[in-house]
Amino acid sequence: MRWLRFALLILAVTVIQKGLLSRWSSKPDLLIILLVFFAIYYNTSEAIISSFTIGFAADLVGSPMPMGPHIISFGLFGTLLAYLNRVMAIKRMPYQALAIFATSVLAGLLSHLLAYITGEPIAGNIYAVVFVTALYSSVVGPFLFLPVAWWMRIKTNRFGRRY
């Protein structure tokens, strides 16, 4: 993995998530999209490291929550997705959208549960917020994989011939 490119990408996405997308009421979670991307396109150990790093960035973005729930939930579900990708390939766009949706719902619910356990107040409509965020992320996510793959210098062969 190109770690400098990875760090710059995470920094840019974190700034976009916190700055530009914070004005929208319903928004995709770009960090979940990156988590699924790295779990799909990199080997297991790099995917696990990137999952915990992206979880740390998500904890920095999510200011009302305490530090730690996103690191744990992103790390757990990123690791599970990386091991799942070893068993079955998640290369087609509908499967990627489904992986983004499932990961977003599960990681969102677990991070809110962990925040609730630590005593942080949470909103009453958590299920709606998590579901809408997961839906937007799964629609936008597969289309962002190609520019991220270009930035990370990965050959995806998405539009090539199938033999």
CATH value at residue 52:
1.10.1760
In a domain, 84, yes or no: yes
Exposure string of 50-62, with b = 16+ CB inside 10 Å and e = fewer, is bbbbbbbbbbebb
pTM over 0.75: yes
- Give the range among 26-30, 78-82, 134-138 with minimum mean pLDDT: 26-30
- pLDDT over 90 percentage in the chain: 60
N residues, the chain:
163
In a domain, 104, yes or no: yes
What's the mean pLDDT in 99-118?
92
Residue with tokens 């983004």: 100
In a domain, 161, yes or no: no
In a domain, 58, yes or no: yes
- Indicate the number of domains in the chain: 1
pLDDT of residue 81: 95
pLDDT of residue 160: 53
In a domain, 160, yes or no: no
In a domain, 163, yes or no: no
- pLDDT over 70 percentage in the chain: 92
Confidence of residue 20 (pLDDT cuts 50, 70, 90): confident
In a domain, 162, yes or no: no
pLDDT of residue 54: 95
pLDDT of residue 162: 46
Q: Which domain holds residue 82?
A: 3-152
Tokens of 14: 């974190």
